[in-house]
Amino acid sequence: MANVILYLELGAIAIIFAGLPLTFVLTRRGYGFFERLNWVLVFMTFDLIIFGAFTRLTDSGLGCPDWPGCYGTSNPWHAIGDIQLAQSALPTGPVTVMKAWIEMIHRYLAMTLGALILVQLGIAWSKVRTLGMTPVFASLGLLLLVLIQGAFGAWTVTLKLQPIIVTTHLMLALTLLGSLTAYAQQSWQGKTSTVLQLRIKPLSAKFLFVGFLTLGMQIFLGAWVSTNYAVLACPDFPTCLGTFWPETQWQEGFTFWRKLGLDAHGDFISPVALQTIHWAHRLFAVVAFFTLTIFAVSVSKIARATQPQLKGLAKLLLGLLLLQVTTGISNVVFQWPLGAALLHTAGSAALVFCLVRMSYWASWKSPLQLRWQSS
């Protein structure tokens, strides 16, 4: 019975929270309700990723050590006695009133996103006659992704911040952001499909795929650094402990299934393994920066004056790459300040958004064919 009440209370909170963005969508003019809702979902997912990073960086991931509630209740107010007891027993531990609220707000936002995707699914279903089944299937896919993301959120707590679980949780969040962006940028209007087919698409999908692959690898390495708390394993820049090739332990550093702070055998993970994790992220950052810079410059040249929006996105991509370099260096030089760390995560999410937006102009033709077509 207690579990039923808990889920009912959490459901009511999700509905109340969902009412705020729905009210905003209803009161705004321009575009249709469905289109506005889709872009609000993108905005909320981006915010949720940043707040998730804030939850992790403030060590609030275990602020409520159970799931989905907080000590079996729907909010920290009702669990204040348990929280204070845990805090007094372990003053430097992960449980405080503030951390509990940060963790629960993160969960509330995640539930709100799920509720809004249910609304999206309902609207897509109501428009089957005009839009067909494609947006319905796409919304079902998004809902499934949210449910999987929720499962990893639960495992993040129950498995005590196991690095591969937390890393996968972040990667799934970015996948959800990209998927929602791809959904939102669709016209979903059958009458305009012919026009869309005639639109010039001066960007090779194969070319774009390389950009996604490079960015995905670099984000994974960055998440692996953060979830293993290896940011300060190399406390200097551009060297690591005074050398450009520090001692490494690749097998220990990249053994994925293990507990936080431990190696595969249950012993404390070595400092060398942590600096290996950090150094791998730095090395691939060079590859990612130059690959995506070449990509952005090439796209800017291909787009020229025929696709000013695409050229603007290419410039935005360059700016975001510079932001990532700046905040990445700042994390080391200034000893992992919260602001720089949050901006670094926000930059990663923005890069995903930018690449997905650029996919609107993608075509499977070769770069040479596209250059000839757009000239």
Give the separation between CA 265 and CA 224, rounded to whole angstroms: 19
Final residue in a domain of this structure, among 123, 153, 187: 187
What pTM was estimated for this model as a whole? 0.92
Residues 265 and 300 occupy one common structural domain: yes
Give the Cβ contact number of residue 320 at 10 Å: 22
141 and 206 belong to one structural domain: no
- Among 141, 164, 187, the domain-final residue is 187
Q: Among 165, 187, 209, identify where a domain stops.
A: 187
Backbone angles phi, psi at 268, to 5 degrees: -60, 135
Residue tagged active-site, from 9, 35, 103, 252: 103
Give pLDDT, residue 1: 66
Which residue segment(s) compose the domain that 129 sits in?
1-187
Is the residue at 193 inside a domain? no
| 209 and 181 inside one domain | no
Residue 363, pLDDT above cutoff 90: no
Per the CB < 8 A criterion, the answer to whether 260 and 163 are in contact is: yes
Q: What is the pLDDT of residues 176-226, one digit of tens each?
A: 999 999 999 987 654 433 333 334 567 778 889 999 999 999 999 999 999
Number of domains the chain contains: 2
How do strand 203-204 and strand 362-363 relate by DSSP bridges?
parallel
Query: Quick one: pLDDT band at residue 268, thresholds 50, 70, 90?
Result: very high
Same domain membership, residue 91 and residue 175: yes
> Quick one: 80 and 228 in the same domain?
no
Instruction: Tell me: do 363 and 279 sit in the same domain.
Output: yes
What pLDDT digit, counting tens, does each position of 58-75 carry?
A: 999 999 999 999 999 999
Query: What is the arithmetic mean of pLDDT over 83-99?
Result: 91
Using left for φ > 0, alpha for ψ between -120 and 50, and beta otherwise, residue 67 falls in: beta
Q: What percent of the chain has pLDDT over 90?
A: 77
Q: What are the pLDDT digits (tens) for 278-295?
A: 999 999 999 999 999 999
Residue 207 and residue 101 share a domain: no
Q: Examine the domain organization and report whether 138 and 212 are in the same domain.
A: no
Q: Name 268's bridge partners.
A: 262
* 195 within domain boundaries: no
Closest of 373, 372, 370, 374 to residue 204, by C-alpha: 370
State yes or no: pLDDT of 131 exceeds 90. no
* Cα gap 347→330, rounded to integer Å: 14
State whether 12 and 155 are in the same domain.
yes
Q: Do 283 and 172 fall within a single domain?
A: no
12: pLDDT strictly greater than 90: yes
The dihedral formed by the CA atoms of 6, 8, 12 and 15, expressed in degrees to the nearest 10: 120
Is 103 labeled as catalytic in the residue annotation? Answer: yes
What's the Cα-to-Cα distance from 192 to each of 27, 32, 137, 195, 360, rounded to whole Å? Answer: 26, 15, 20, 5, 15
117 and 209 together in one domain: no
Read off the pLDDT of each residue in 130-145 and give the average, rounded to a whole number: 94
